[in-house]
Amino acid sequence: MADRNPLPRSFYLRHPAVVAPELLNKVLVRADGRAGRIVEVEAYAGSEDPAAHSHRGPTLRNASMFGPGGHLYVYLNYGIHWCANAVCGEVGEGHGILLRAIEPVAGVDLMRQARGGPAKERDIGSGPGRLGQAMGITRALDGADLVTGDAGLWIVCDGVLPPANPVVGPRVGISRAVDLPWRWSVPANAHVSKGRPRPGAVPRRSPR
């Protein structure tokens, strides 16, 4: 699937609140055959977003967020889970999109192995920590180019369109900018993480 229309650089070079809902139903692919359809995402917008890791500027931890759009930013959450983010916007903006959940479409046995054993298919990639584990994403992939696939990881389009009316709601587990409904998911998809947002919310702030 890696040769099926990797998303071009231009796709990412926009505000994360514009890019994020368009990432729904795209497919995250590894060269070893693992692939998962992206069904839940959250946008984080650099200096304008107090909840973003990049809000206060670049550090050793978040440097990838300030690079070119279309790369991967990987961070360790609670000292346990590696979480994957697609960097977007222009160089220096620090924008990113957290990949919160995938629906496995290929390499399910490999994903289960990576998760450490038997798991219901709907739970394999439900939540950012499980997603990272199922896809074998670690800090070693921080900065990977999702367009060229230099590290054997791509986001591709297989022809499935984003939902016309995605579920919209607030982001999970943050204490700042909690009013921003910058979390999107595929309606009625069983692989979306728990605590699903309610449909119909309208962002209170317009992206730049």
| pLDDT the model gives residue 202 | 38
Q: Residue 184 corresponds to which tokens in the numbers above? A: 């999107």
| pLDDT the model gives residue 105 | 96
| pLDDT the model gives residue 195 | 56
Q: pLDDT tens digits for the chain (208 residues)?
A: 656 689 999 999 999 999 999 999 999 999 999 999 999 999 999 888 887 888 888 899 999 999 999 999 999 987 788 999 999 999 999 999 999 999 999 999 999 999 988 878 889 999 999 999 999 999 999 999 999 999 999 999 999 999 999 999 998 887 788 788 999 999 999 999 975 444 443 333 334 3
pTM of the model: 0.90
Rounded Cα distance, 33 and 36, in Å: 10
* H or E segment to which residue 104 belongs: strand 95-106
Rounded Cα distance, 63 and 118, in Å: 36
Rounded Cα distance, 160 and 69, in Å: 22
**For residue 116, with 0-12 CB atoms within 10 Å meaning exposed, 13-18 middle and 19 or more buried, which class applies?**
exposed
**What is the residue extent of each domain of the chain?**
9-185
Candidate CATH numbers 3.40.250.10, 3.40.50.10680, 3.10.300.10, 3.30.460.80; the one for domain 9-185: 3.10.300.10
| pLDDT the model gives residue 76 | 92
